[in-house]
Amino acid sequence: MSLPETPVVVRSPVRATVALAAVTLFTGIGAGLGGMLLALLLHGIQHLAYGYSQDHLVGHQSFLLGVTAASPLRRVEALALCGLVAGLGWWLLYRYGKPLVSIKKAVANGDARMPGRATVVHVLLQIITVALGSPLGREVAPRELGSLIADRLSRWSGLDTDTRRLMIACGAGAGLAAVYNVPLGGAVFVLEVLLARFAWREAIIALATSAIGASIAWIGLGAEAQYTVPHFVISPGLIAWALLCGPLFGLSAYGFVRLTGAARERAARGGSLPVLALINFTFIGCMAIFLPQVLGNGKGPAQLGFDDQLTIGLAVLLLLAKVAVTSSSLRAGAEGGLLTPALACGALLAVVLGGGWNLLWPGVPLGAFAIVGAAAFLSSSMNMPLTAIVLVVEFTRIDHDFLVPIILAVVGSVCVTRLCARLSAA
């Protein structure tokens, strides 16, 4: 990131437009390449750590299958290594690196500069630990890298402060689009979550950067969907369940946010960080001896739920374990996202609630419940209803008709979560 510190002053409208177009193009390309390389690094470490598909970085064998095939001792060793990397890595970063600037802070304050080296180290630590089995999400890392690239390009091109904030947000969206192949989801995330407003200028730039980022990442990752789901048929039973259970997902998501938020607020930062991280991740490795599905960001359990391959008992066990290890990892000082963990928790909770519903109104596959529940839980836990709907559709490429129960469940979930927040603040 050794671009010139002194920006080029853009004076004429023509030069300003050309500069913005160039920054938009190269932000998309940079975020796409960055997201692609981070994903390939993650796959490479996963395959090396657990000894599967070492001849293909992107293959048909999933992380869950690789972890399940690995010996119990190898799982414990991988998670102990994860604890060492997390503990020592973040302790050294906080002690000797420049203070980190989050994406939201950089978007809110255009003068807040994201530190180059510290941000890159922070990004790599997230990818390495998630690859080794951390239960946190990997989506924050490509977003941060995309924002960093956009920040540097904007400053070098002499864009004004407001435009620079827009490009930082769009860089994050392009990074998300690249790593998950969600071009529309990345753009909606920018508008709904980071900017919290809609205007045609912002929408066009967000769409362009996300589409460029996703298409660039196809070079190394392909254009595959994140989850494969069987064909489900919409039924009155599923729609009625979505209406009734949507509020339950909102209540559960509110509790999840409170729990993980408290864990982040109390996260280790000083000399206790290496010790707590090692203990936490070694314990998770021991848990994985009997429950290998608990490892990773939650994509494995979510896929099992979508595939209708979970019993209600196993879904309950995985849900409790996922919430516990996600919170404990945040408390131990590890960093990462909550998008995929929240998606997994929603899918698992939906399998449990759907199994009970089938006793009253049988006929709906558990996988159909899981897709609807994943969207409802994700929308409330991340406070992004529109983005959650778009992401789940792009993740699974589910049939258009599934939007009806998804939207109904999301509406009920978000309403209850916001009601809980108001009552708590009163």
Q: Give 217-229 pLDDT, tens digit per residue.
A: 999 999 888 998 9
- Residue 111: what residue type? D
Q: Does 142 share its domain with 59?
A: yes
Q: Does 180 share its domain with 252?
A: no
Judged by average pLDDT, the poorest of 58-62, 162-166, 358-362, 373-377 is 58-62
Q: Could you tell me if residue 62 is inside a domain?
A: yes
For position 420, what pLDDT does the model report? 95
Q: How many domains in the chain?
A: 2
Q: Does 56 share its domain with 204?
A: yes
Q: Could you tell me if residue 226 is inside a domain?
A: no
For position 12, what pLDDT does the model report? 75
For position 1, what pLDDT does the model report? 46
Structure tokens at 345: 């928790």
The DSSP 8-state label assigned to residue 231 in this structure reads -
Q: Could you tell me if residue 231 is inside a domain?
A: no
pLDDT class of 2 with cuts at 50, 70, 90: very low
* Torsion, CA 328, CA 331, CA 333, CA 336, rounded to 10: 60
Rounded average pLDDT over 217-242: 92
Q: Is 415:247 a contact under the CB 8 Å cutoff?
A: yes
Q: Could you tell me if residue 251 is inside a domain?
A: yes
For position 59, what pLDDT does the model report? 61
d(CA 57, CA 40) in angstroms, rounded, equals 6
For position 276, what pLDDT does the model report? 96
For position 10, what pLDDT does the model report? 45
The DSSP 8-state label assigned to residue 135 in this structure reads S
* Torsion, CA 129, CA 341, CA 65, CA 53, rounded to 10: -40
Structure tokens at 200: 């045609």
Judge whether residue 332 has pLDDT over 70.
yes
Rounded average pLDDT over 274-290: 96
Judge whether residue 13 has pLDDT over 50.
yes
Q: Does 242 share its domain with 388?
A: yes
Q: Does 262 share its domain with 175?
A: no
Neighbours of 92 (CB within 10 A): 14
Q: Is 335:143 a contact under the CB 8 Å cutoff?
A: no
136 closest CA partner among 295, 319, 256, 269: 295
How far is CA 71 from each of CA 52, 54, 132, 292, 312, rounded to the nearest angstrom? 12, 16, 14, 10, 26
Q: Does 81 share its domain with 159?
A: yes
Q: Does 246 share its domain with 127?
A: no
Q: Could you tell me if residue 5 is inside a domain?
A: no
Q: Is 189:384 a contact under the CB 8 Å cutoff?
A: yes
Residue 331 maps to which CATH number?
Answer: 1.10.3080.10
pLDDT class of 266 with cuts at 50, 70, 90: very high
Q: Could you tell me if residue 330 is inside a domain?
A: yes
Neighbours of 57 (CB within 10 A): 16
Judge whether residue 8 has pLDDT over 50.
no
SS3 category, 39: helix
- Kindly report, residue by residue over 333-363, the tens digit of the pLDDT: 999 999 999 999 999 999 999 999 999 999 9
Sign, Cα dihedral of 263, 264, 265, 266: positive
Q: Is 101 left (phi over 0), alpha (psi -120 to 50) or beta?
A: beta
Query: Where among 172, 189, 221 does a domain terminate?
Result: 221
Q: Could you tell me if residue 386 is inside a domain?
A: yes
Helix axes 140-157, 116-132, angle to 10 degrees: 160
Q: Could you tell me if residue 361 is inside a domain?
A: yes
Contacts of 345 (CB under 8 A, 6+ apart): 252, 256, 298, 319, 322, 323, 377, 381
Helix axes 140-157, 161-180, angle to 10 degrees: 150
d(CA 341, CA 297) in angstroms, rounded, equals 6
Q: Does 288 share its domain with 210?
A: no
Q: Is 342:253 a contact under the CB 8 Å cutoff?
A: yes
Helices (H), 136-271: 140-157, 161-180, 183-189, 200-221, 236-265
- Kindly report, residue by residue over 379-394, the tens digit of the pLDDT: 999 999 999 999 999 9
How far is CA 264 from each of CA 109, 169, 190, rounded to the nearest angstrom? 23, 23, 23
d(CA 133, CA 153) in angstroms, rounded, equals 34
Q: Does 183 share its domain with 158?
A: yes
Question: What integer best gives the mean pLDDT of the chain?
Answer: 93
Q: Does 147 share its domain with 264?
A: no
Query: Where among 187, 221, 255 does a domain terminate?
Result: 221
Judge whether residue 6 has pLDDT over 60.
no
Domain that holds residue 56: 13-221
For position 58, what pLDDT does the model report? 66
- Kindly report, residue by residue over 402-412, the tens digit of the pLDDT: 999 999 999 99
pLDDT class of 112 with cuts at 50, 70, 90: confident
- Kindly report, residue by residue over 58-70, the tens digit of the pLDDT: 666 789 999 999 9
Query: Where among 221, 248, 268 does a domain terminate?
Result: 221
Helices (H), 4-160: 13-50, 63-69, 72-96, 103-108, 116-132, 140-157
Q: Does 202 share its domain with 342?
A: no
The DSSP 8-state label assigned to residue 109 in this structure reads -
Q: Does 279 share its domain with 354?
A: yes
